[in-house]
Structure 1
Amino acid sequence: MKRILRKMSLKRRLWVSFVFLTVVCISVTGTYVSVFFSNQMKAQAAKTSQDTLNKTAQVFDERLRNIVVSISTLMMGESFQETMRDVQANNKQDYFKRLSQLQTPFAQMMMTEQSIDSVLIHTPIGDFYPTENRRSTTSFEETYINEMIVNAQTRWSTLWIRGHEEELFRRGNPVISLVIKPLFERTLPNVYVVVNIQEERLLELIHAHLQEGSLRQLIMDRSSMPVFSSVPVSTDNSKSLQEAIGDSSTGHFEYVADSGLPFLVNYAALDMNADWMLVGYQSKSDLLAPVRHMRWTIVTIMGVCVVLALIMSSMLSELLLKPLFKLRNLMLKVETNHLDVKFESVFEDEISQVGYKFNRMLEQIKELIEEVRSTEQEKRKSEIKALQAQIDPHFLYNTLNTIYWKSEMQEQQAVSGMIVSLSQLFRLGLNNGHEITTLRQELEHVSQYLSLQSMCYPDLFYYEIAEVDEKLLDVPILKILLQPLVENSILHGFQELPHQGRIRIETSAQDGMLTISVNDNGVGMDVHQVQQMLSRRGKECSSYALSNVRARLALYYGSKASFILESESCVRTSVRLVIPIREVIEE
């Protein structure tokens, strides 16, 4: 540690000291406050949630208790007892009489407790229910209720069945069912009083006791299965919930859902059914949002203090090391290619002497850069001249030979036209020694070349130059770009073509880029193979035309120009040149 401190500058040591003390003090204080308030908020939230949960559980138990009392009142009535006596005696003759007698108790019970959706008394001599409800065609033995009765593992007198679709009547709405064995002097097998309770009314009862906040409540059994069928609950982590609740009747714990979000969970068992738990949960992140805000406040304060420490350390070091900082700033500017800086100082100390040596070094660097730039420019010009010299002179031989034979055949007009075209071709190609021409002259140059070649190779091909926007004709471009491309089409694309070839030159502009396309219907090329051949720098390349144009574009325009090849055999071969319109070219 001491070795590291010795290597640090004075400014860095001051900076480290101020920042270290500031960060340590604020971090310790902020961490303590954050943890303390976080624990206090979680404890207060758990207590408040548990109180709300206990209150809701009491109200919910009271509602279930009232329903049980209403059913007990029904079962203690004379009509119900007479019905049970008929069941005991297996008397089916008075079925309709008993059904009629039970309508009034049914109506009184459902009027007293409006959360009851339907009621049915299942007996071996028939089912008894309010006749105003339409009984479904599903027999009691085929219902989910009967399945739960059969699968009950313990002896029971009251059986609560979690939410399901109502099957006894033609309603189909979600209900919770209560099954009670009848109150009678003797035990009657296969006799059940089934009461379907509307889930909607019970859910309203739960939601009515929720206050504003993030707390949510639901009812689950101890296996973590939802009691209400209309409230979907993910049970992927049901085992962890079941282990956390265990056999206890009340408590709270933290729970991480499948999505990774943490929740604070409170629970309380219902007195009317100890297997059912009223569970309240709230997002831990929402609950601790004020703590997060406080943490951000602490971080902001820490940042402000760090900035103040930096300013103070900078002010102290500036007084002592101002000349050195000045020299360092000049060096940073030199790193960004600003070589015109100069160190000046009124002092004559060691730092000033280093600054004067720095000035001398910059002068030598600028002299070396200028020398290298001049050398590179000469090399670049030489490379361009060498590339231009690679243009195949074979066509000149063919042109002169054609002129000779046409003169021998007394075709004076054709000879005159070819001589004029050849002179125009040379005039436009020379371009007064300039490397930059205009699009108008370049199109005229390639037009003269194509005219000569069409006379040298009659019926081999025909050509088209698409109409160009007048505004583009004066755009400056590199000369002799198109002639090597059309030469490549004639020599390689049409020689083995069974039909007449076609060359079309198109020009367009978009987004500051000029696009020139040379298209033909020749035999085509293997684009991938040609691109690999063109990319072999320093090696011999058989396609002089394409490599010449590509190399000249790279030398003049760099990465701003594009050379694009596309080919479909005997259908379309295209070479596209994309160059910047307003690119400044140095001759």
Structure 2
Amino acid sequence: MIRIHLKFRDMPLKRKLYLCIILLIVVPLIITGFYLNNQFANLTLNKSSDIALQTLKQTRQNFDSLLADTNDLSLRILSNAQIQKFIKEDYNKALDYDRYYRDIFSWLNDLKGSKMVFDTISIIHGNKVLFQMGTLDSNVNSEHVERALALKGKLYWAVEGDKLYAYRRIMDFSKYGNDLGVVKINISEEAIYHFYQGINAYDASNLTLVDSAGTVLSSSLKNKIGHKYEPFDEMKRRISNRSDGFFSEKIGNTNNIVLFYRIAPTNWFLIQTIPESSFTPLKTTINTLLLIAIALCILFGFLFSLIQNSYLIKPLGKLRTEMAKLRTGNFNIHLNTESKDEIGEINQGFIRMTQQLKETIDDVYISKIKQREAELTALQAQINPHFLYNTLDSIHWLAMKHRNYDVSEQIEALSEIFKHVLSKGQPIVTIREELDFLENYMFIQKAKYGQRIRLMISADPTLMDYKTPKLILQPLVENAILHGLEEKLEGGTIDVRIDIIDNNVRFVVSDDGIGTDQKRINRMMSGGDGIQDVFALKNIDDRIKLNYGQEYGLKFRSKEREGTVVEVLIPLMT
């Protein structure tokens, strides 16, 4: 408990505020909402299921009529005297067959009337179809015929493929116990489907008519007709002893409400499965009202937090961010000073303190720069250029006299280097002079490194007479040699590129050396530990920013084992 208290005490104000709102407002409301939602959901589901069941049971009369009509039709057929004679062939077959056939056809057509539920009516004797009316169906299933005969005149219902048939034994009225054959009536599945098609109003709902063994007699999914209804075995224990009802059942990966009623004479079941998600409209309405109430409570809590965040926490966070900028040496502070409350007074005080600190630092920094420039000028003044040039010239000719041409060329290059460094005390030279100085420096370095170090220079010819602070390129090339290529056994290439970008001059010095940790170098450039290791880079960056502004200066990019790129940007100066 003490540890939790200490952690809470050390949290940022914003996190404390939101944590209190969540624990004291949001969480209790969510728990209450879940409980109420569960209660309302169960009540809604039961009520909706009961309504759907009453709708489903409205189709019971259609099935009762179908069974009654089929029973009546089959009884009339088996008791018709003309059909009895036709089966027994008790007529002049050569003369009266067509007349009998037409009379029976006409009589059945009148008897059937407008009832489209009967698709085909067949009279079978033995394994032969003697008479047929409707869709051609010459198939005779001996097993079904025998079972119909065994039932002694009761209707026998059977499924053959995807078709539903009613069989009934035709007895010989003139001779007791003699069987003449069976009547086979094909019930139109499409007509049965129309019995319940209109009530299938729920999304993804399926209706299925199955017999007592679970065989599909009719279904809204036509490819299931004639096959075993897969969920029937799981449902059977729930529906076998009931005439109707509903229950929840998981079919596949979906939770469903199962509605059913029994068609008593045949022990068929009409089963409707409705995904629970289909009841969402009513459930959504209740949930919406509940969520609105919870959301309003949470809204007022967060409105309070937003006010606190806007007028207290956010200004403090902004102040903290600006203080972090100050630690990195960035004095570009932006704070709102319009507010007259305590936060506004703190912001005004911090801005005043920052301005005073910047003025103090600028005074000290500029005075140190001027002191260094004065020391450099004094040092340059101590060296008599004419004496230095004359001395180097004497040594040069002495080396020439003794035919030591390598020493002669090195001394000549060194003389040019001193001439460029001194340059009559002027800090600004042309880009051409800066490149000449760099080539003299590399001439001396080749005596040490030979062909291990290669220098490539690519400069826009139109820039040669433009001005640049002196000693920009040579320190960067020297840095590339010492820290990038010297430790690389096979050496490498230094590429120097000078071009114009956005009316500025850009110097780019890149090498393919061993590279270094870019973040570490940038951290040291910003004034971190180890600043002496990046003195040359820091010196160039400071000189340029001091003379031309913060938008100019040096950028450093490097990747270990790939190389380093240094860019220097100065204004275009004629």
Normalising to structure 2: TM-score of the pair? 0.52
1:488-544 CA distance string (max 9 Å, x none): xxxxxxxxxxxxxxxxxxxxxxxxxxxxxxxxxxxxxxxxxxxxxxxx997556986
In the alignment, what sits opposite 2:53?
50
How has the CA–CA distance of structure 1 residues 65 and 290 changed in structure 2, closer, same or farther, with 3 Å as cutoff?
same
Paired residue type of 1:283: P
Q: What SS is found at the alignment partner of 1:340?
A: coil
In the alignment, what sits opposite 2:410?
none
Q: What SS is found at the alignment partner of 2:195?
A: helix
Rounded to whole Å, the distance in 2 between the matches of 1:539 and 1:211 is: 80
Does residue 63 (structure 1) correspond to residue 95 (structure 2)? The answer is no
In the alignment, what sits opposite 2:166?
178
Contact 2:145/2:182, CA 8 A, preserved across alignment: no
Give 1:338 shift: 6.7
Of 182, 187, 193, 1:192 maps to: 182
In the alignment, what sits opposite 2:333?
341
Does residue 108 (structure 1) correspond to residue 110 (structure 2)? The answer is yes
Contact 1:60/1:206, CA 8 A, preserved across alignment: no
In the alignment, what sits opposite 1:96?
97
Rounded to whole Å, the distance in 1 between the matches of 2:11 and 2:171 is: 92
Rounded to whole Å, the distance in 1 between the matches of 2:91 and 2:165 is: 27
Aligned pairs (5 A) from 1:22-61: 22-61=25-64
In the alignment, what sits opposite 1:255?
249
Does residue 283 (structure 1) correspond to residue 275 (structure 2)? The answer is yes
In the alignment, what sits opposite 2:159?
162
How has the CA–CA distance of structure 1 residues 342 and 95 changed in structure 2, closer, same or farther, with 3 Å as cutoff?
same
Aligned pairs (5 A) from 1:1-40: 1=1, 3=5, 4-8=7-11, 13=16, 15-40=18-43
How has the CA–CA distance of structure 1 residues 215 and 318 changed in structure 2, closer, same or farther, with 3 Å as cutoff?
closer
How has the CA–CA distance of structure 1 residues 93 and 180 changed in structure 2, closer, same or farther, with 3 Å as cutoff?
farther
Contact 1:219/1:227, CA 8 A, preserved across alignment: yes
Q: What SS is found at the alignment partner of 1:181?
A: strand
Give 1:271 shift: 2.4
Rounded to whole Å, the distance in 2 between the matches of 1:426 and 1:50 is: 88
Rounded to whole Å, the distance in 2 between the matches of 1:336 and 1:243 is: 78
Of 315, 319, 322, 1:327 maps to: 319
Does residue 432 (structure 1) correspond to residue 464 (structure 2)? The answer is yes
Q: What SS is found at the alignment partner of 1:33?
A: helix
In the alignment, what sits opposite 2:298?
306
Rounded to whole Å, the distance in 2 between the matches of 1:180 and 1:305 is: 71
Give 1:551 shift: 5.0
Does residue 228 (structure 1) correspond to residue 228 (structure 2)? The answer is no
In the alignment, what sits opposite 1:168?
none
Rounded to whole Å, the distance in 2 between the matches of 1:321 and 1:126 is: 95
Identical aligned residues as a percent: 16
Does residue 271 (structure 1) correspond to residue 264 (structure 2)? The answer is yes
Q: What SS is found at the alignment partner of 1:227?
A: strand
Task: Report the RMSD for the aligned CA atoms in angstroms.
Answer: 5.8
Rounded to whole Å, the distance in 2 between the matches of 1:550 and 1:188 is: 116
Rg comparison, structure with higher value: 2
Contact 2:124/2:182, CA 8 A, preserved across alignment: yes
In the alignment, what sits opposite 1:207?
197
Give 1:306 shift: 3.0
Q: What SS is found at the alignment partner of 2:223?
A: coil
Q: How many residues align?
A: 399
Rounded to whole Å, the distance in 1 between the matches of 2:135 and 2:303 is: 85
In the alignment, what sits opposite 2:393?
none
Give 1:256 shift: 3.2
Q: What SS is found at the alignment partner of 2:301?
A: helix
Rounded to whole Å, the distance in 2 between the matches of 1:266 and 1:227 is: 17
How has the CA–CA distance of structure 1 residues 293 and 120 changed in structure 2, closer, same or farther, with 3 Å as cutoff?
same
How has the CA–CA distance of structure 1 residues 95 and 224 changed in structure 2, closer, same or farther, with 3 Å as cutoff?
farther
Structure 2 portions without partners, runs of 5+: 367-433, 447-456, 469-484, 498-507, 516-553, 558-566
Of 59, 62, 78, 2:81 maps to: 78
1:338-396 CA distance string (max 9 Å, x none): 75227899989xx99996999599969x99xx99xxxxxxxxx99xx79x979xx9xxx
Give 1:333 shift: 6.9
How has the CA–CA distance of structure 1 residues 304 and 542 changed in structure 2, closer, same or farther, with 3 Å as cutoff?
farther
Q: What SS is found at the alignment partner of 1:205?
A: helix
Give 1:188 shift: 4.9
1:291-330 CA distance string (max 9 Å, x none): 2354355445544433432443565698888985563353
Give 1:121 shift: 0.9
Paired residue type of 1:198: S
Q: What SS is found at the alignment partner of 2:258?
A: strand
Rounded to whole Å, the distance in 2 between the matches of 1:68 and 1:314 is: 77
Q: What SS is found at the alignment partner of 1:264?
A: strand
How has the CA–CA distance of structure 1 residues 311 and 199 changed in structure 2, closer, same or farther, with 3 Å as cutoff?
closer
Q: What SS is found at the alignment partner of 2:218?
A: coil
Paired residue type of 2:263: L
Give 1:241 shift: 4.5
How has the CA–CA distance of structure 1 residues 12 and 73 changed in structure 2, closer, same or farther, with 3 Å as cutoff?
same
Contact 1:123/1:190, CA 8 A, preserved across alignment: yes
Give 1:40 shift: 1.8
Q: What SS is found at the alignment partner of 1:113?
A: coil
How has the CA–CA distance of structure 1 residues 328 and 109 changed in structure 2, closer, same or farther, with 3 Å as cutoff?
same
Q: What SS is found at the alignment partner of 2:222?
A: coil
1:425-476 CA distance string (max 9 Å, x none): 999779518899xxxxxxxxxxxxxxxxxxxxxxxxxxxxxxxxxxxxxxxx
Paired residue type of 2:107: P
Aligned pairs (5 A) from 1:540-559: none
Normalising to structure 1: TM-score of the pair? 0.51
Give 1:49 shift: 1.6
Rounded to whole Å, the distance in 1 between the matches of 2:492 and 2:168 is: 97
1:259-297 CA distance string (max 9 Å, x none): x333212011222421x3211232311212332354355
Contact 1:71/1:109, CA 8 A, preserved across alignment: no
Paired residue type of 1:205: F
Contact 2:119/2:188, CA 8 A, preserved across alignment: yes
Q: What SS is found at the alignment partner of 2:216?
A: coil
How has the CA–CA distance of structure 1 residues 253 and 338 changed in structure 2, closer, same or farther, with 3 Å as cutoff?
farther
Contact 2:126/2:181, CA 8 A, preserved across alignment: yes
Structure 1 portions without partners, runs of 5+: 166-174, 372-380, 394-424, 437-535, 560-582
Q: Which sits farther off after the overlay, 46-55 or 550-559?
A: 550-559
Rounded to whole Å, the distance in 2 between the matches of 1:266 and 1:72 is: 34
Paired residue type of 1:228: S
Paired residue type of 2:183: V
Rounded to whole Å, the distance in 1 between the matches of 2:23 and 2:458 is: 77
How has the CA–CA distance of structure 1 residues 58 and 325 changed in structure 2, closer, same or farther, with 3 Å as cutoff?
same
Q: Which sits farther off after the overlay, 155-164 or 354-363?
A: 354-363
